[in-house]
Amino acid sequence: MSDLLYGIHPVYEALAAGRRKFKTLYISKRRKTKGIQSLLERAQAEGIPIQYREQDYFRSLLGGSVHQGVAARVGDYPLVDIGAILRKAETDARLPIVLALDGIVDPQNLGSLIRTALAMGAHGIILAKDRSAPLSPLVSKASAGAMEHTLIARVPNLVAALKELKGAGLWVVGAHVGSDQRVDEADFNLGLVLVIGGEEKGIRPLVRKTCDYLVSVPQKSVVDSLNAAVAGAIVMYEIVRQRGR
């Protein structure tokens, strides 16, 4: 099995991360941007086969996707287990933070959450095996390549995974619109797992019961106008803000 990554950032970051085997790099004959040149230099230094193609070739491979004249045939995305995420957290001087996603099915939202998690220093991400967008090239593109650097575990039972993380000493906090505890009034100065629910139904009831506490993002509107990616970004920023004081 293999993936066809596309776009300058996802392909370059996959190459920089060194976690996937590169089989072939495709470059448009008509694109000469600085970003492509940097990618070419790195690929040539690592001995990756490069093919120069016309734009029609990219359309045949990717349809209308925004590829920026770059695509790469690479190995499957390397999933990890929960233990790998915990080991990474143990070697870091910072308090642990793990992101758990319950039912994020939109690839753009998933990519945005992965990008924010990496920027905020999360040690890894846990996805439910079912009711979740696949870790596809589209998600890598939406994350601007951040997915290629992120430790991600896909688990068959999210509740069991959260209990395992609790057993490792982490607290589980869920972002839930119905909570009376505001995110800016919670205490995040402890090892945390942050649970973000799906776009329509939020965190499922059993997962919600597994959380140690719930927080909500205060809003002026009576309409719940924040999508999962935005709500997750706000809570993650508040966690980092508190820890930086």
Instruction: Determine the pLDDT at residue 33.
Output: 73
pLDDT averaged per 10 residues in sequence order, the chain, 245 residues: 88 96 92 81 94 91 89 96 97 95 95 97 94 94 97 97 97 91 92 92 94 89 73 94 84
pLDDT of residue 224: 57
For residues 68 and 34, is the Cβ–Cβ distance under 8 A? no
Distance CA(120)–CA(237), nearest Å, equals 7
160, amino acid identity: A
- At residue 175, the pLDDT reads 94
CA dist., res. 10 & res. 85, Å (int) = 22
45 and 155 belong to one structural domain: no
Largest CA distance in the chain: 57
pLDDT at 66: 87
Tokens of 4: 């066809």
- CA–CA distance, 90 with 110 (Å, rounded to integer): 26
Give yes or no for a contact between 84 and 201, defined as CB atoms under 8 angstroms apart. no
Under a CB-based contact definition with an 8 Å cutoff, are residues 120 and 239 in contact?
Answer: yes
Domain end among 55, 75, 95: 75
Domain identity same for 184 and 93: yes
- Cα separation, 27 vs 32, whole angstroms: 10
Residues 56 and 38 in one domain: yes
pLDDT given at position 223 = 56
Q: What is the three-class DSSP state of 187?
A: coil
Same domain, 65 and 178: no
Report the domain count for the chain: 2
Distances (CA, A) of 139 to 63, 64, 199, 223: 16, 16, 16, 28
Cα–Cα distance list, 75 to 19, 58, 67, 149, 243 (Å) = 9, 19, 18, 15, 37
Whether 179 and 97 have beta carbons less than 8 Å apart is answered as: no
- Token pair of 113 as six digits: 């959450």
The whole domain housing 45 covers: 2-75
How far apart are alpha carbons 245 and 204 in whole angstroms? 33
Q: Which of 75, 92, 107 is the endpoint of a domain?
A: 75
Q: What is the CATH number of the domain that holds 225?
A: 3.40.1280.10
Regarding whether 88 and 56 lie in a shared domain, the answer is: no
Residue carrying the six token digits 């995974």: 161
Please report, for residues 6, 29, 33, 90, the alpha-carbon distance to residue 37 in angstroms, rounded to integers and kept in the order given: 15, 12, 6, 38
Q: What is the pLDDT of residue 30?
A: 77
